[in-house]
Amino acid sequence: MSLADLHFFKMTREPSLDALCAVVAERHAQGLATILYAGGTDWMVEQEMRAPLHDEPPLVVDIGRMGELRGISLAGDSLRIGAGTTYLELERSAVVQARAPMLVRMAKDVGAVQIQARGTLGGNLATASPAADGVAALAAYDATIVVKSARGERRIAMADLQTGYKKSTRAADEIIVAVELAPPPEGSPWYWRKVGARRAQAISKVALAGVAVVENGTATRFGVGMVSVAPVTARMATTRALVLGKALAEITAEEIDHAVDQDVTPIDDVRSTGEYRSHVARALTRDLLRQLGARV
């Protein structure tokens, strides 16, 4: 599907976030589908794989220019990124470069420049794909997702967001408004590695994001997110507990491998095999720990 094919759908824009919430709520109550169109980098691909429409097509609402969903701001220790912020905007943000540099590095690996200029963090979250690079990075930062509907606004912790393959706790009438995270102190170690057929312009076979705060050889904060290894973005609970529970120099490679094997359940698909993904997941995690100071 190309932009030229959008004439098959009824498209509209709303003047404000409140007006958008009202439209989505009304259509949801009537059992009608609504597509929120920002960059379209996921949705356009999905249409190519879908059978021809025989029922009433969904209403497509263009939210790409809605200012209430854009922008990056830092207030105290809270970094807020609008859901409509593009990956290219992340790369070019001085605030993100200073306080959450791993997001910048991740954004550089999301497709070509054309995709980076259109793709958004909110779109990555809404799709709930277990292979979304942006979601891996947000999991490592233990981000909070801000959603809004006609009923009001609420916050969902990353740990509570995804419930299964392309499923989440976000209600059908809720709009992703922003992402909030508490960045570690400037200069804190971070890690991003994407393994795929190419560094960019390819879906990850495995990708690992990590952030940490290390004091006197011990990690006092350790967040990770891994994609393409489970039905959801893997937050690596066993690995987190291992790293936070002892001095980095005391952690062994065997302990890391065992923890990773508890945290991920890779499968075979057209992009890779489960065996290869398990091997890469262990290797990347050991590499991350070495960078933090573990002797593995």
- Which phi and psi angles does 182 have, rounded to 5°? -105, 100
Phi, then psi, of 28 in degrees rounded to 5: -60, -40
Average pLDDT, the chain: 91
Q: Where are the domains of the chain?
A: 3-62, 68-181, 190-292
> What pLDDT, on the 0 to 100 scale, is given for residue 196?
82
Label residue 112 by pLDDT band (50, 70, 90): confident
CATH number given to 68-181 = 3.30.465.10
- pTM score, two decimals? 0.91
Class of domain 190-292: alpha beta
User: Residue 82 is encoded by which pair of tokens?
Assistant: 């609008």
pLDDT at 188: 96
Q: What is the pLDDT of residues 178-190, one digit of tens each?
A: 999 999 999 999 9
Spatial contact of 234 and 226, defined as CB atoms under 8 Å apart:
yes
| pLDDT given at position 2 | 52
Q: From CA 212, how far away is CA 67, in angstroms rounded?
A: 32
What does the pLDDT average to over 274-295? Answer: 96
pLDDT beyond 80 at 37: yes
